Amino acid sequence: MKTLNPDVVIVGAGPAGLTAARHLAATVDVLVIEREDQAGGIPRHSAHIGYGLRDLHRVMTGPQYAQRLVEQARDASVDLRTASMVTRWRGERTLEATTPSGLVQIEAAAVLLATGARERSRAARMIPGDRPAGVMTTGQLQSTVHLLHRPVGTRAVVVGSELVSWSAVLTLREAGCATALMTTTHERPESYAAFNVAGRALLRVPVATRTRVTRIIGRERVTAVEVQDLATGIRREVACDTVILTGDWMPDSELARAHNLAIDHGHGGPLIDTAQRTSAPGVFAAGNLCHPVDTADVAALDGAAVATQIIRWLQGVRPSEQTVRLTVEAPLRWVSPGLLRSGDPAAPRERLVLWSDESRSRPRLTVRQGADILTRRTVNWPMSPGRAFRLPWSVLSGVDPRGVDVTISVR
C-alpha cells in the first residue's frame, strides 16, 4: 500500500474543505480527499443564484461558486483527489483511502473533517406506504436534473418548507415538473417570509402547514401521497408522480463516529470547541458537519477560520484541558461550537449557531452559568425551525472559563 505524508489531510471538498485547503496551502502541504467525481460539494448541482456573498463578496449560482472554489484551491497548489473515499482510520491521524489508483495510507500531522451534511432519507423519516420509484431528496433531484440531465416526473409533492425546499421547487420547474403541494408540520413555513410570499405568488405553490405525509402510494411509480391535517386529523390523497424530501438535515458523521470522537447529540456531528478542535488531538472539524445546516458561504468561512487553528497546532500550540460545555434548553435543539476553553479564539465570525424546533418572532434569551444569569437579551430577528439562528459572541462575555456548564434558553 502506498503511503502519503501530507502535513494536513482534509476529508471533503465542499466549501469548508476547499477554503481551508486554499488557506493552508500557503504554508503547508495539503491533501484533499473527495468521494465524488467532482469537487465543490452541494453547490455543484444547485443551479439557482445566491452563493458566495459572505466569502467571495459576489453573488453567483451554485455551480459557478463551486467552480470558483475549486479553481482557487488548484491555483494554491492543493493536491485534490476526487473519486477517492476514506474507508477507515489506521491510527490517531492516519487514514486509509480507496482511490482510482488503489489503496493508499495517509499519515498526516493534522486531519480536518469537512464531510458536510445530507437530508434525511425516506427510511430515516419512517414514512410508511408502498416503495415505488419517484421518491428522492433535494440533492438527488438536483443531481438528476443538473448533472445527469434526466427527466423527473410531471407533478410533485415537496415535503418540507425550508430554504432548500424552494430550491427544490425551482429545480422541478426547470425540469418541467409542477409542484402540486408543499407540506410542513409546523404552524408556519420554516423559510424566510420573502421566499414564502414569492413562492406562493410567483411560483403558485400551495403550502399546507400543520400537515404531514402519512403514506406514499404507488406500485411501479408514485401515484399519490396521503397527507394528514394535524389539527383535525383529517386525511386526504394528493395525486402526484414525484415526492421530494427536503431539509431535516443530518451530518455526514460516519467517519467521526468511526474514530470514537465525542459527538454532540443535539445535531449528531462531532463536538467541537471554538477553535474547531474535536476530542481527538490534531483532528479538526468544520462546516455543516458541525452545524447542519447553514449556508455554503458560512461553511466556507468556517474553513478559513479553522486553517489558522490548524497552523497553530502544527506549530506546537496545544489547548487548555479546562473546558466549559455550552448547552441549550428546549425549544432550542443544539448550539455550535459546544465547548469553551480558556485562551481560545471566539467562534468563527464571532457567531454562535443554534437550531430551534419552534418559531419566535423576537426571542428573549437567557444565558446562565450554574445559578448565575450572565445575559438576558431580546433579539430583533426571528427564530424559526428549518434554518440556522445566530447569536453574537458577546452573549458569552461574562462566562468564567473555569466554571461550570453554560445554558442558553429562550423564554
Write the pLDDT tens digit of every residue in 67-84.
999 999 999 999 999 999
- 308-321: average pLDDT: 97
Whole-number percent of the chain with pLDDT over 70: 100
241 touches 222 (CB < 8 A): yes
- Supply the DSSP string of 194-243, one letter for each residue: HHHHHHHHHS---EESSEEEEEEE-SSB--EEEEEETTT--EEEEE-SEE
Summarize pLDDT for 106-115 with one digit per residue, the tens.
999 999 999 9
Neighbours of 134 (CB within 10 A): 18
What integer pLDDT is reported at residue 411 of this predicted model?
A: 83
**Does the pLDDT value for residue 28 go beyond 80?**
yes
- The tens digit of pLDDT for each residue in 36-46 reads 999 999 999 89
- Segment 389-405, tens digit of pLDDT: 999 999 999 999 999 99
Average pLDDT over residues 290-316: 97
CA 379 to chain centre: 24
Confidence class for position 199, pLDDT limits 50, 70, 90: confident
C-alpha cell at 128: 410508511
Number of helical H runs and strand E runs in the chain: 9, 29
CB 402 within 8 A of CB 343: no
pLDDT of residue 192: 79
Task: Give the C-alpha separation, 151 to 141, whole Å.
Answer: 10
pLDDT at 345: 95
Q: How confident is the model at residue 285 (pLDDT cuts 50, 70, 90)?
A: very high
pLDDT at 194 over 90: no
**196 pLDDT above the threshold of 80:** no
- Give this prediction's pTM: 0.95
The answer to whether the beta carbons of residues 161 and 138 sit under 8 Å apart is no
What pLDDT does 170 receive?
Answer: 93
- So what's the pLDDT on residue 377? 94
- Mean pLDDT of the region 86-99: 97
> According to the CATH classification, is domain 121-247 in 3.50.50.60?
yes
Q: Measured between alpha carbons, how far is 279 from 270 in angstroms, rounded to an integer?
A: 8
Q: Considering the chain, what is the average pLDDT of its residues?
A: 96
* Range(s) of the chain covered by CATH 3.50.50.60: 1-119+249-319, 121-247
Residue corresponding to grid cell 467517519: 255
The model's pLDDT over 355-370, given as tens digits with 9 standing for 90+, comes to 999 999 999 999 999 9
State how far Cα 324 lies from the chain centre: 24
In order of 58, 74, 206, 332, the CA distances from 173 in angstroms are: 26, 34, 14, 34
For residue 149, with 0-12 CB atoms within 10 Å meaning exposed, 13-18 middle and 19 or more buried, which class applies? exposed
Q: Picking from 40-54, 136-150, 187-201, 260-274, which range would have the lowest pLDDT averaged per residue?
A: 187-201
Q: Is 3 within 8 Å of 107 (Cβ atoms)?
A: yes
CA distance 273 to 324: 9
Spatial CA neighbour of 391 closest among 359, 364, 357, 369:
364
pLDDT for the residue numbered 191: 87
- pLDDT score of 229: 97
Q: Could you tell me the fold of the domain covering 1-119+249-319? A: FAD/NAD(P)-binding domain (3.50.50)
Residue 144 grid coordinates: 438528476
